[in-house]
Structure 1
Amino acid sequence: MLRLPEAYRSLFKRPFGTLYGSVGELLPQLEGRPVYAVGDVVTHNLLTAGVVPDITIIDGHTMRTPCNRSPLLLMRWVTVKNPPGTITTDLEDAIEEVVGDPPAVIFVEGEEDLAVIPLVLAAPDGAAVLYGQPEEGVVLRLVDATAKQAAASMLKVFVRE
Protein backbone atom coordinates (compact mmCIF):
# COMPACT_ATOMS: atom_id res chain seq x y z
CA MET A 1 0.00 0.00 0.00
CA LEU A 2 1.14 3.54 -0.76
CA ARG A 3 0.40 6.25 1.81
CA LEU A 4 0.50 9.98 1.11
CA PRO A 5 2.43 11.68 3.93
CA GLU A 6 0.57 14.54 5.62
CA ALA A 7 3.33 16.98 4.60
CA TYR A 8 2.53 16.46 0.89
CA ARG A 9 -1.27 16.58 1.01
CA SER A 10 -1.41 20.24 -0.06
CA LEU A 11 0.33 19.34 -3.35
CA PHE A 12 -2.67 17.22 -4.27
CA LYS A 13 -5.21 19.99 -3.76
CA ARG A 14 -4.16 21.67 -7.02
CA PRO A 15 -5.93 20.51 -10.19
CA PHE A 16 -4.10 17.72 -12.03
CA GLY A 17 -5.40 18.90 -15.41
CA THR A 18 -7.66 21.67 -16.67
CA LEU A 19 -10.30 22.97 -14.27
CA TYR A 20 -13.81 23.66 -15.63
CA GLY A 21 -16.76 25.17 -13.81
CA SER A 22 -19.05 22.35 -14.93
CA VAL A 23 -19.14 19.13 -16.93
CA GLY A 24 -21.12 20.92 -19.65
CA GLU A 25 -18.13 23.11 -20.49
CA LEU A 26 -15.88 20.17 -21.35
CA LEU A 27 -18.30 17.88 -23.20
CA PRO A 28 -16.89 18.67 -26.68
CA GLN A 29 -13.47 17.39 -25.57
CA LEU A 30 -14.90 13.99 -24.65
CA GLU A 31 -16.12 13.06 -28.14
CA GLY A 32 -14.43 9.97 -29.53
CA ARG A 33 -12.44 9.29 -26.34
CA PRO A 34 -12.70 6.71 -23.58
CA VAL A 35 -14.16 8.57 -20.58
CA TYR A 36 -13.05 7.68 -17.06
CA ALA A 37 -14.72 9.37 -14.09
CA VAL A 38 -13.55 9.49 -10.48
CA GLY A 39 -16.18 10.58 -7.98
CA ASP A 40 -19.89 10.19 -7.39
CA VAL A 41 -20.88 13.77 -8.29
CA VAL A 42 -18.77 13.90 -11.47
CA THR A 43 -20.27 10.58 -12.56
CA HIS A 44 -23.78 11.82 -11.78
CA ASN A 45 -23.16 15.02 -13.77
CA LEU A 46 -21.79 13.09 -16.75
CA LEU A 47 -24.82 10.80 -16.75
CA THR A 48 -27.14 13.82 -16.53
CA ALA A 49 -25.34 15.25 -19.58
CA GLY A 50 -25.90 11.99 -21.47
CA VAL A 51 -22.36 10.62 -21.16
CA VAL A 52 -21.92 7.13 -19.72
CA PRO A 53 -18.31 6.77 -18.56
CA ASP A 54 -16.39 3.70 -19.70
CA ILE A 55 -14.94 3.45 -16.20
CA THR A 56 -16.27 4.96 -13.00
CA ILE A 57 -14.56 4.98 -9.61
CA ILE A 58 -16.89 5.95 -6.76
CA ASP A 59 -17.13 5.58 -2.99
CA GLY A 60 -20.71 6.62 -2.21
CA HIS A 61 -19.52 9.89 -0.65
CA THR A 62 -18.84 13.46 -1.65
CA MET A 63 -16.46 15.50 0.49
CA ARG A 64 -16.67 12.70 3.09
CA THR A 65 -20.47 12.95 3.40
CA PRO A 66 -22.79 10.23 2.07
CA CYS A 67 -23.74 11.06 -1.51
CA ASN A 68 -27.34 10.74 -2.58
CA ARG A 69 -26.28 10.96 -6.23
CA SER A 70 -24.33 7.70 -6.43
CA PRO A 71 -25.08 6.21 -9.84
CA LEU A 72 -26.79 2.90 -10.40
CA LEU A 73 -24.88 1.83 -13.48
CA LEU A 74 -25.76 -1.45 -15.15
CA MET A 75 -22.27 -2.74 -15.78
CA ARG A 76 -19.73 -4.89 -13.99
CA TRP A 77 -18.92 -3.71 -10.45
CA VAL A 78 -15.62 -4.38 -8.68
CA THR A 79 -15.38 -3.58 -4.97
CA VAL A 80 -12.07 -2.73 -3.29
CA LYS A 81 -10.93 -1.37 0.06
CA ASN A 82 -8.83 1.80 0.00
CA PRO A 83 -8.38 3.82 3.21
CA PRO A 84 -8.20 7.64 3.02
CA GLY A 85 -4.82 9.01 1.98
CA THR A 86 -3.72 5.75 0.36
CA ILE A 87 -3.49 3.87 -2.90
CA THR A 88 -3.81 0.16 -2.17
CA THR A 89 -2.55 -2.64 -4.36
CA ASP A 90 -6.19 -3.80 -4.61
CA LEU A 91 -7.19 -0.43 -6.08
CA GLU A 92 -4.27 -0.46 -8.54
CA ASP A 93 -5.09 -4.03 -9.59
CA ALA A 94 -8.78 -3.21 -10.05
CA ILE A 95 -7.90 -0.18 -12.20
CA GLU A 96 -5.61 -2.29 -14.40
CA GLU A 97 -8.35 -4.91 -14.72
CA VAL A 98 -11.15 -2.55 -15.73
CA VAL A 99 -8.98 -0.45 -18.08
CA GLY A 100 -8.24 -3.72 -19.89
CA ASP A 101 -11.92 -4.74 -19.98
CA PRO A 102 -14.36 -1.79 -19.79
CA PRO A 103 -17.07 -0.82 -19.04
CA ALA A 104 -16.96 -1.18 -15.27
CA VAL A 105 -17.51 0.53 -11.95
CA ILE A 106 -14.96 0.33 -9.16
CA PHE A 107 -16.72 0.85 -5.86
CA VAL A 108 -14.25 1.88 -3.17
CA GLU A 109 -14.88 1.08 0.46
CA GLY A 110 -12.94 3.96 1.96
CA GLU A 111 -11.87 6.82 -0.29
CA GLU A 112 -11.32 7.13 -4.04
CA ASP A 113 -9.75 10.61 -4.16
CA LEU A 114 -6.22 9.50 -5.09
CA ALA A 115 -7.39 6.95 -7.69
CA VAL A 116 -6.81 9.54 -10.42
CA ILE A 117 -3.06 8.91 -10.23
CA PRO A 118 -3.01 5.16 -10.97
CA LEU A 119 -5.92 5.64 -13.39
CA VAL A 120 -3.90 8.08 -15.52
CA LEU A 121 -0.96 5.66 -15.44
CA ALA A 122 -3.13 2.74 -16.59
CA ALA A 123 -5.29 4.61 -19.12
CA PRO A 124 -4.52 4.55 -22.83
CA ASP A 125 -3.26 7.69 -24.53
CA GLY A 126 -6.18 9.86 -25.56
CA ALA A 127 -8.46 8.85 -22.69
CA ALA A 128 -10.25 11.59 -20.74
CA VAL A 129 -9.99 11.32 -16.96
CA LEU A 130 -12.38 13.53 -14.97
CA TYR A 131 -12.65 14.16 -11.26
CA GLY A 132 -14.24 16.74 -8.99
CA GLN A 133 -12.30 19.67 -7.55
CA PRO A 134 -14.16 20.48 -4.30
CA GLU A 135 -15.94 23.84 -4.29
CA GLU A 136 -14.50 24.67 -7.75
CA GLY A 137 -15.73 22.35 -10.49
CA VAL A 138 -14.44 19.43 -12.49
CA VAL A 139 -10.91 18.65 -13.66
CA LEU A 140 -10.23 17.10 -17.07
CA ARG A 141 -6.91 15.38 -17.68
CA LEU A 142 -6.32 14.09 -21.19
CA VAL A 143 -3.96 11.15 -21.00
CA ASP A 144 -0.67 11.42 -22.87
CA ALA A 145 3.02 10.87 -22.10
CA THR A 146 3.19 14.16 -20.16
CA ALA A 147 0.21 13.19 -17.99
CA LYS A 148 1.75 9.79 -17.27
CA GLN A 149 5.10 11.38 -16.35
CA ALA A 150 3.35 13.82 -14.00
CA ALA A 151 1.39 10.98 -12.36
CA ALA A 152 4.56 8.93 -11.90
CA SER A 153 6.26 11.96 -10.29
CA MET A 154 3.33 12.39 -7.92
CA LEU A 155 3.70 8.79 -6.77
CA LYS A 156 7.31 9.45 -5.73
CA VAL A 157 6.18 11.36 -2.63
CA PHE A 158 4.15 8.38 -1.36
CA VAL A 159 5.55 6.01 1.26
CA ARG A 160 5.25 2.26 0.68
CA GLU A 161 3.88 0.42 3.71
Structure 2
Amino acid sequence: MLRLPEAQRDLFKKPFGTLYRGIEELLPRLEGRAVYAVGDVVTHNLLDAGIVPDIAIIDGYTMRTPCTRSPLLKARRMTAKNPAGTITDELVDAIERAVRDPPGVIFVDGEEDLAVIPLVLAAPDGAAVLYGQPGEGVVLRIVDASAKREAESILKVFVRE
Protein backbone atom coordinates (compact mmCIF):
# COMPACT_ATOMS: atom_id res chain seq x y z
CA MET A 1 0.00 0.00 0.00
CA LEU A 2 1.14 3.52 -0.79
CA ARG A 3 0.35 6.29 1.70
CA LEU A 4 0.36 10.00 0.93
CA PRO A 5 2.27 11.80 3.72
CA GLU A 6 0.28 14.54 5.47
CA ALA A 7 2.91 17.09 4.40
CA GLN A 8 2.17 16.33 0.72
CA ARG A 9 -1.64 16.61 0.84
CA ASP A 10 -1.50 20.10 -0.71
CA LEU A 11 -0.26 18.48 -3.93
CA PHE A 12 -3.87 17.52 -4.66
CA LYS A 13 -5.33 20.99 -4.19
CA LYS A 14 -4.05 21.88 -7.67
CA PRO A 15 -6.04 20.24 -10.50
CA PHE A 16 -4.29 17.32 -12.24
CA GLY A 17 -5.66 18.47 -15.60
CA THR A 18 -7.97 21.19 -16.89
CA LEU A 19 -10.62 22.48 -14.48
CA TYR A 20 -14.13 23.10 -15.83
CA ARG A 21 -17.04 24.60 -13.91
CA GLY A 22 -19.37 21.82 -15.07
CA ILE A 23 -19.66 18.69 -17.18
CA GLU A 24 -21.46 20.53 -20.01
CA GLU A 25 -18.35 22.60 -20.79
CA LEU A 26 -16.14 19.59 -21.41
CA LEU A 27 -18.56 17.29 -23.28
CA PRO A 28 -17.10 18.14 -26.73
CA ARG A 29 -13.67 16.94 -25.51
CA LEU A 30 -15.08 13.47 -24.73
CA GLU A 31 -16.25 12.57 -28.23
CA GLY A 32 -14.59 9.43 -29.55
CA ARG A 33 -12.69 8.78 -26.32
CA ALA A 34 -12.84 6.16 -23.59
CA VAL A 35 -14.31 7.98 -20.58
CA TYR A 36 -13.18 7.13 -17.05
CA ALA A 37 -14.85 8.81 -14.06
CA VAL A 38 -13.63 9.03 -10.48
CA GLY A 39 -16.29 10.04 -7.97
CA ASP A 40 -20.00 9.55 -7.43
CA VAL A 41 -21.09 13.07 -8.41
CA VAL A 42 -18.95 13.22 -11.56
CA THR A 43 -20.28 9.82 -12.64
CA HIS A 44 -23.86 10.87 -11.88
CA ASN A 45 -23.43 14.12 -13.84
CA LEU A 46 -21.98 12.25 -16.83
CA LEU A 47 -24.97 9.92 -16.84
CA ASP A 48 -27.33 12.92 -16.64
CA ALA A 49 -25.55 14.33 -19.71
CA GLY A 50 -26.13 11.06 -21.58
CA ILE A 51 -22.57 9.73 -21.28
CA VAL A 52 -22.04 6.30 -19.76
CA PRO A 53 -18.44 6.09 -18.55
CA ASP A 54 -16.40 3.06 -19.58
CA ILE A 55 -15.08 2.91 -16.03
CA ALA A 56 -16.48 4.52 -12.89
CA ILE A 57 -14.71 4.51 -9.55
CA ILE A 58 -17.10 5.40 -6.73
CA ASP A 59 -17.33 5.09 -2.95
CA GLY A 60 -20.90 6.15 -2.12
CA TYR A 61 -19.76 9.44 -0.59
CA THR A 62 -19.18 13.01 -1.66
CA MET A 63 -17.00 15.29 0.46
CA ARG A 64 -17.13 12.71 3.28
CA THR A 65 -20.95 12.58 3.47
CA PRO A 66 -23.15 9.84 1.98
CA CYS A 67 -23.92 10.58 -1.64
CA THR A 68 -27.63 10.47 -2.43
CA ARG A 69 -26.80 10.53 -6.14
CA SER A 70 -24.64 7.42 -6.34
CA PRO A 71 -24.93 6.18 -9.89
CA LEU A 72 -26.47 2.85 -10.77
CA LEU A 73 -24.49 1.53 -13.70
CA LYS A 74 -25.16 -1.72 -15.52
CA ALA A 75 -21.57 -2.84 -15.74
CA ARG A 76 -19.37 -5.43 -14.14
CA ARG A 77 -18.92 -4.48 -10.51
CA MET A 78 -15.67 -4.88 -8.62
CA THR A 79 -14.79 -3.85 -5.10
CA ALA A 80 -11.53 -2.69 -3.60
CA LYS A 81 -10.51 -1.60 -0.12
CA ASN A 82 -8.69 1.71 -0.10
CA PRO A 83 -8.38 3.68 3.16
CA ALA A 84 -8.25 7.49 3.00
CA GLY A 85 -4.90 8.91 1.93
CA THR A 86 -3.74 5.66 0.32
CA ILE A 87 -3.49 3.79 -2.95
CA THR A 88 -3.77 0.08 -2.20
CA ASP A 89 -2.53 -2.73 -4.41
CA GLU A 90 -6.14 -3.99 -4.38
CA LEU A 91 -7.35 -0.72 -5.93
CA VAL A 92 -4.56 -0.73 -8.54
CA ASP A 93 -5.41 -4.35 -9.49
CA ALA A 94 -9.11 -3.50 -9.86
CA ILE A 95 -8.28 -0.48 -12.05
CA GLU A 96 -5.99 -2.55 -14.26
CA ARG A 97 -8.68 -5.25 -14.67
CA ALA A 98 -11.32 -2.64 -15.54
CA VAL A 99 -9.07 -0.93 -18.10
CA ARG A 100 -8.26 -4.29 -19.73
CA ASP A 101 -11.93 -5.30 -19.94
CA PRO A 102 -14.37 -2.37 -19.79
CA PRO A 103 -17.02 -1.45 -18.89
CA GLY A 104 -16.65 -1.69 -15.14
CA VAL A 105 -17.62 -0.05 -11.88
CA ILE A 106 -15.16 -0.17 -9.02
CA PHE A 107 -16.88 0.37 -5.69
CA VAL A 108 -14.27 1.49 -3.18
CA ASP A 109 -14.58 0.54 0.46
CA GLY A 110 -12.82 3.59 1.86
CA GLU A 111 -11.94 6.55 -0.34
CA GLU A 112 -11.53 6.83 -4.12
CA ASP A 113 -10.00 10.33 -4.25
CA LEU A 114 -6.45 9.26 -5.14
CA ALA A 115 -7.57 6.65 -7.72
CA VAL A 116 -7.02 9.16 -10.51
CA ILE A 117 -3.24 8.58 -10.29
CA PRO A 118 -3.19 4.80 -10.93
CA LEU A 119 -6.08 5.24 -13.37
CA VAL A 120 -4.04 7.64 -15.55
CA LEU A 121 -1.11 5.21 -15.41
CA ALA A 122 -3.26 2.25 -16.50
CA ALA A 123 -5.39 4.07 -19.09
CA PRO A 124 -4.60 4.03 -22.79
CA ASP A 125 -3.42 7.21 -24.51
CA GLY A 126 -6.34 9.35 -25.55
CA ALA A 127 -8.64 8.28 -22.72
CA ALA A 128 -10.46 11.02 -20.81
CA VAL A 129 -10.16 10.83 -17.01
CA LEU A 130 -12.57 13.01 -15.03
CA TYR A 131 -12.80 13.70 -11.31
CA GLY A 132 -14.36 16.33 -9.07
CA GLN A 133 -12.42 19.23 -7.62
CA PRO A 134 -14.40 20.00 -4.44
CA GLY A 135 -16.14 23.35 -4.52
CA GLU A 136 -14.66 24.20 -7.93
CA GLY A 137 -15.91 21.88 -10.66
CA VAL A 138 -14.67 18.91 -12.62
CA VAL A 139 -11.15 18.17 -13.81
CA LEU A 140 -10.49 16.57 -17.20
CA ARG A 141 -7.16 14.94 -17.94
CA ILE A 142 -6.58 13.48 -21.39
CA VAL A 143 -4.14 10.61 -21.00
CA ASP A 144 -0.87 11.03 -22.87
CA ALA A 145 2.84 10.60 -22.15
CA SER A 146 2.93 13.87 -20.21
CA ALA A 147 0.00 12.82 -17.97
CA LYS A 148 1.70 9.48 -17.26
CA ARG A 149 5.01 11.19 -16.40
CA GLU A 150 3.22 13.59 -14.05
CA ALA A 151 1.34 10.71 -12.38
CA GLU A 152 4.64 8.83 -11.91
CA SER A 153 6.25 11.88 -10.32
CA ILE A 154 3.28 12.31 -7.94
CA LEU A 155 3.59 8.65 -6.90
CA LYS A 156 7.19 9.30 -5.86
CA VAL A 157 6.00 11.36 -2.86
CA PHE A 158 3.98 8.41 -1.54
CA VAL A 159 5.47 6.08 1.07
CA ARG A 160 5.25 2.30 0.63
CA GLU A 161 3.88 0.56 3.75
The answer, yes or no, to whether TM exceeds 0.5 is yes
What are the Cα deviations for residues 41-73 of structure 1, in whole angstroms up to 9, with x where unaligned? Answer: 000000000000000000000000000000111
What are the Cα deviations for residues 14-64 of structure 1, in whole angstroms up to 9, with x where unaligned? Answer: 100000000000000000000000000000000000000000000000000
| 2:120 corresponds to | 120
Q: How far apart, CA to CA, are the structure 2 residues paired with 1:36 and 1:49?
A: 15
* Partner-residue secondary structure (3-state), 1:15: coil
Question: Within the alignment, does 1:111 sit opposite 2:129 as a pair?
Answer: no
Question: Within the alignment, does 1:59 sit opposite 2:64 as a pair?
Answer: no
> Deviation of residue 86 (structure 1)?
0.1
Question: Within the alignment, does 1:141 sit opposite 2:145 as a pair?
Answer: no
Q: How far apart, CA to CA, are the structure 2 residues paired with 1:34 and 1:70?
A: 21
> Deviation of residue 12 (structure 1)?
1.1
Tell me which amino acid in the other structure corresponds to 2:92.
E
Aligned pairs for 1:62-77 (under 5 A) are 62-77=62-77
* Partner-residue secondary structure (3-state), 2:56: strand
| 1:17 corresponds to | 17
Q: How far apart, CA to CA, are the structure 1 residues paired with 2:160 and 2:107?
A: 23
Q: How far apart, CA to CA, are the structure 1 residues paired with 2:133 and 2:12?
A: 10
Q: How far apart, CA to CA, are the structure 2 residues paired with 1:72 and 1:26?
A: 22
* Partner-residue secondary structure (3-state), 1:109: strand
After TM superposition, where is structure 1 displaced by more than 6 Å over at least 4 residues in a row?
none
Tell me which amino acid in the other structure corresponds to 2:45.
N
What are the Cα deviations for residues 112-146 of structure 1, in whole angstroms up to 9, with x where unaligned? Answer: 00000000000000000000000000000000000
* Partner-residue secondary structure (3-state), 2:36: strand
Give 5+ residue unaligned stretches, structure 2.
none
Number of residue-to-residue matches in the alignment: 161
* Partner-residue secondary structure (3-state), 2:41: helix
Q: How far apart, CA to CA, are the structure 1 residues paired with 2:138 and 2:147?
A: 17
What are the Cα deviations for residues 72-106 of structure 1, in whole angstroms up to 9, with x where unaligned? Answer: 11110001100000000000000000000000000
> Deviation of residue 7 (structure 1)?
0.2
Q: How far apart, CA to CA, are the structure 2 residues paired with 1:68 and 1:148?
A: 33
Q: How far apart, CA to CA, are the structure 2 residues paired with 1:37 and 1:108?
A: 13
Give 5+ residue unaligned stretches, structure 1.
none
TM-score, normalised via structure 2 length = 1.00
Question: Within the alignment, does 1:130 sit opposite 2:133 as a pair?
Answer: no
Tell me which amino acid in the other structure corresponds to 1:33.
R
Tell me which amino acid in the other structure corresponds to 1:76.
R
Tell me which amino acid in the other structure corresponds to 1:149.
R
> Deviation of residue 13 (structure 1)?
1.2
Q: CA RMSD in A?
A: 0.3
